[in-house]
Amino acid sequence: MDEYDRIDAGIYDCYATGVSGDVAFYVDQAKRSGSPVLELGCGTGRILIPVAEAGVEVVGIDRSPSMLAVAKERVATLNSEVRSRIELAQGDMRDFSLGRRFGLIVIPYRSFLHLLATDDQRAALGRIREHLGDAGRLVFNVFDPRLDLLQQSTGGGSELRKLAEFTHPQTHRRVVGWYASSCDPLRQVIEQYNVFDQMDDQGTVVARQYVPLTLRYVFRYEMQHLLELCGFKVDALYGDFERGPFRYGGEQVWVAVKR
Ligand SMILES: C[S@@+](CC[C@H](N)C(=O)[O-])C[C@H]1O[C@@H](n2cnc3c(N)ncnc32)[C@H](O)[C@@H]1O
């Protein structure tokens, strides 16, 4: 089972709210490129829907049926004109073939980090290159690893930290989410353990959900070499969604074109 299918996809949007400024940035990228845009790892449609609302046709691919089910529910509530600009399909970014090319391919919200092995990363970049038009752009973001945080969670795992607190959209109970991370520097992998407690009015936990998430972090020059190895040229690397300079420990926002 895909790790995102272990998440209660119905609560995903309550705590996974993106990186500051990302929606406006990706919508702007989409408006500049025009239709159609491809989003890999589109999840519940957090970026895809605003792109379509901005008048751009968008195809969203995701590996997880339950995340796609939430995206489809959300799309069904949109007006028919916006809906007609959206296509959703289950698929894996390492192995997809749509038989068409795009002026823009995006991988928002660090989804590239779900590629856990070099072969997976190279396979995805190969498929992306194949689906990009000659003047097309690949735009994506990943977090820039902070050595102090990695070290804190190496050899046993970090302490439990609060992730989010919200009202469950279906049960209307209070939910508190917690997480702890464990880093394996040899594999460059972080295992994040998310725990969601649903409580009744007395504060008694009536349901607990445990959701592991595995990420392979990438360093700045590793990403640059990987892009170049896979036939891309770096057009820009920003440190945030306001197009600020790259800074250690912030965000890596990449814009790459075909070499
Ligand atoms: C962090 S969420 C991002 C969702 C959405 N792009 C957003 O910005 O809110 C990562 C998504 O990537 C999907 N995913 C992970 N690995 C994938 C793969 N190999 N191919 C396609 N989708 C994948 C997950 O199912 C999940 O929906």
- Whether the pLDDT of residue 9 is over 90: the answer is no
Rounded distance from Cα 198 to ligand 1 centre (Å):
25
Rounded distance from Cα 157 to ligand 1 centre (Å):
24
pLDDT at res. 1 = 66
Nearest CA to ligand 1 atom 4: 43
pLDDT at res. 158 = 78
Q: Of ligand 1's atoms, which has the minimum distance to the CA of residue 5?
A: 25
The predicted-structure confidence for 206-243, as pLDDT tens digits, reads as follows 999 988 999 999 999 999 999 999 999 999 999 999 99
pLDDT at res. 8 = 74
Q: List residues bridging with 255 in a β-sheet.
A: 139, 236
The predicted-structure confidence for 135-160, as pLDDT tens digits, reads as follows 999 999 999 999 999 998 898 777 88
Whole-number percent of the chain with pLDDT over 90: 89
Whole-number percent of the chain with pLDDT over 70: 99
Taking alpha carbons only, the member of 253, 235, 256, 234 closest to residue 244 is 253
Pocket perturbation via mutation, ligand 1, pick of 7, 62, 110, 143 by most ligand atoms within 8 A of CB:
62
Give 2 or 26, the one with higher predicted confidence.
26
- Whether the pLDDT of residue 5 is over 90: the answer is no
pLDDT at res. 160 = 87
Rounded distance from Cα 140 to ligand 1 centre (Å):
12
Ligand 1-lining residues (CB < 6 angstroms): 2, 4, 18, 40-43, 46-47, 61-64, 67, 92-94, 108-111, 114
Pocket perturbation via mutation, ligand 1, pick of 111, 190, 241 by most ligand atoms within 8 A of CB:
111
- Whether the pLDDT of residue 193 is over 70: the answer is yes
Q: What is the mean pLDDT of the chain?
A: 95
Could you tell me the pTM of the whole model?
A: 0.95
Q: Of ligand 1's atoms, which has the minimum distance to the CA of residue 91?
A: 21
